[in-house]
Amino acid sequence: MGIDSRERNIVKAPTIKTLIVEDNFPCRVLLQTFLARYGECHIAVNGKEAVEAFRLALDNESPYVLICMDILMPEMDGIEAVRQVRAQEKQRGILSTDSVKIIMTTAAEDLKEVIQSFRALCDAYLLKPVDPVELLRDLKSFGLLR
């Protein structure tokens, strides 16, 4: 059987496996609603859950491509979670060019948090409520979308 000409012209969109780390329900829903159109989305409600989810994804050879990480959360904040994610990548020999892209999100406009986030090796920083246009811009700049 041949391939229908309509099937040949379908271009498969890239999928982005995303981990949304957010303890605030409305913010979590906003991110999930926007990002679900680009691929699979998983949820963690604190940094501790995020680090474990990241490890499990690596163990299952199905790593996350993107993490949206809140900064202020219970149990483990986002900055410490990013440090631990980057430590796991380093331990497994994952080069920075192949590492997960991490966007930090927060309602606070504290410059100290921004500096700490980049020192923890995040890739971008967005203020809440997250503007979908800015998020889309970051996804494109990372090469995750065209």
What pLDDT does residue 112 have? 76
pTM of the predicted structure, to 2 decimals: 0.87
The DSSP line for 29-59 is: HHHHHHHGGGS-EEEESSHHHHHHHHHHHHH
**52/18 Cα distance (integer angstroms):** 14
What pLDDT does residue 5 have? 47
What pLDDT does residue 14 have? 62
Q: 61-72, pLDDT tens digit by residue? A: 999 999 999 998
Q: 86-132, pLDDT tens digit by residue? A: 999 999 999 888 999 999 998 876 677 777 777 778 999 898 889 99
What pLDDT does residue 47 have? 97
Q: 30-79, pLDDT tens digit by residue? A: 999 999 999 999 999 999 999 999 999 999 999 999 999 999 899 999 99
**Domains, the chain:** 12-141 (3.40.50.2300)
* pLDDT surpasses 90 at 15: no
* Alpha carbon separation from 143 to 43, 46, 115, 117 (Å, rounded): 23, 27, 24, 21
